[in-house]
Chain A
Amino acid sequence: MISKFLERSTYFLFTLPAVILYTLFFAYAVFVGIQYSFTDWNGISAQYNYIGFHNYIELWNNPNFKQSLIVTGKYAGMLVAGVMILSLILALSLNSLKKFQTFTKSVYFLPAMISAVTISLIWDQLFVRVIPPIGEALNVAALFQSPLAHPKYALIAVVVVNIWQAVALPTLIFIAGLQSVPSELYEAGRIDGASTFNRFRYITFPYLMPTITVNMVLAIKSGITSFDYAYTLTGGGPIKSTNVIGIMIYNDAFQNLKFAMANAESVILFIIIAVLSFIQIKISSKGGVH
Chain B
Amino acid sequence: MRKSAKLSIIAVLLLSLVLTACGKDNAPGNENSGKSDSIKIEFFQQQGEEAIQNAYRKVIADFTKEYPNIIIDMNTVPDPVKVLTSRFATNDIPPLFTDYPTQLQFKEKVKNGYIENLSDQPFIKNINQKYLDMTPADDGGYYSLPYARNYMAVYYNIDLFEQNGVKIPTTYEEFIEVCKQFQSKGITPIYLPLKDVGHTFQATNIAFAPGGVEEMSKVANGEGQIEGNQVFLDFAKKLKELTEYANKDAFGVSNQMMQEAFANGQAAMIISGSYGRGNIKLANPDLKFGAFPLPNDTAETTTVLSGVNASLSISAKAKPEEKEAALTFLKYLARPEVAQKWSDVSGEPSIINGTTYGDEPLQPLLDFIDNGNVHDWMSSKIPSAIVTELYATTQGYLINNDTPEQYLKNIDETIKLNAVK
| Chain A contact residues, CB within 8 Å of chain B | 3, 6-7, 9-10, 13-14, 16-17, 20-21, 24, 42-46, 58, 62-64, 127-128, 132, 144-146, 148-151, 234, 236-240, 250-259
Contacts and interface: CB of A to CB of B under 8 A. Distances in A.
Contact of A238 (B86, B88, B395): B395
A21 B89 CA distance: 23
Contacts of A44: 85, 88-89, 105, 108-109, 112, 114
Nearest to B12: A13
B76 interface: no
B195 interface: yes
A103 B120 CA distance: 69
A248 to B, nearest CB: 11
Contacts of B1: 3, 6
Contact of B249 (A145, A240, A256): A145
19 contacts: A6-B8, A17-B15, A20-B15, A24-B22, A43-B88, A43-B89, A44-B108, A128-B257, A132-B249, A144-B248, A145-B252, A149-B249, A149-B399, A236-B392, A253-B86, A253-B89, A254-B82, A255-B82, A256-B385
Contacts of A24: 22
Contacts of A146: 249, 251-252
A1 B306 CA distance: 80
A145 B347 CA distance: 34
A20 B11 CA distance: 13
B417 interface: yes
B400 interface: yes
Given A128-B249, A145-B251, A42 B4 contact: no
B388 A62 contact: no
Nearest to A152: B399
Interface residues of B, number: 48
Given A10-B7, A238-B251, A255 B388 contact: yes
Contact of B4 (A10, A234, A254): A10
Contacts of A253: 85-86, 89
B89 A259 contact: yes
B112 A43 contact: no
Interface in B363-421: 383-385, 388, 392, 395-396, 399-400, 417-418, 421
Contacts of A63: 417
Contacts of B8: 6, 9-10, 13
Given A20-B18, A257-B85, A64 B252 contact: no
A225 to B, nearest CB: 18
A128 B256 CA distance: 13
Interface in B99-125: 105, 108-109, 111-114
Contact of A46 (B112, B248, B252): B112
Given A14-B11, A144-B248, A148-B252, A237 B392 contact: yes
Interface in B56-111: 81-83, 85-86, 88-89, 105, 108-109, 111
Contacts of B14: 14, 17
Given A145-B251, A238-B251, A239-B395, A256 B388 contact: yes
A63 B393 CA distance: 14
B253 interface: yes
Given A6-B1, A7-B4, A257-B384, 17 more contacts: A6-B5, A6-B8, A10-B8, A13-B11, A17-B15, A20-B18, A44-B105, A144-B249, A239-B396, A239-B400, A253-B85, A253-B86, A254-B85, A255-B385, A256-B384, A256-B388, A257-B85
Find the residue from B1, B85, B385 having the highest chain A CB count within 10 A. B85
Nearest to B391: A237
Contacts of B252: 127-128, 132, 145-146, 148-149
Contacts of A254: 81-83, 85-86, 89
* 9 residue pairs, one from A and one from B, having the closest CB atoms: A146-B252, A256-B385, A149-B251, A13-B11, A254-B82, A149-B252, A239-B396, A43-B89, A7-B4
Contact of A257 (B4, B385, B417): B385
A127 B421 CA distance: 41
Contacts of A236: 392
A237 to B, nearest CB: 6
A127 B399 CA distance: 18
Find the residue from A9, A149, A253, A259 having the highest chain B CB count within 10 A. A149
Interface in B328-372: none
A258 B85 CA distance: 11
Contacts of A259: 89
Contacts of B17: 17
B113 to A, nearest CB: 7
Contacts of A237: 195, 392, 395
B384 A239 contact: no
B195 to A, nearest CB: 7
A46 B113 contact: yes
Contacts of B251: 145-146, 149-150, 238
Contacts of B11: 10, 13-14, 16
Given A128-B252, A238-B395, A254-B85, A3 B4 contact: yes
Nearest to B418: A256
Contacts of A149: 194-195, 249-252, 399
A234 B392 CA distance: 12
B105 A257 contact: yes
B180 to A, nearest CB: 23
A64 B113 contact: no
Contacts of A9: 8
Contacts of A257: 85, 105, 108, 383-385
A31 B251 CA distance: 42
A65 to B, nearest CB: 11
B18 A17 contact: yes
Contacts of B392: 236-240
Contact of B195 (A6, A21, A64, A148): A148
A63 to B, nearest CB: 7
B417 A64 contact: yes
Contacts of B396: 238-239
A132 to B, nearest CB: 5
B42 to A, nearest CB: 19
B248 A6 contact: no
Contacts of A256: 383-385, 388, 418
Contacts of A251: 388
A151 B402 CA distance: 14
A189 B252 CA distance: 54
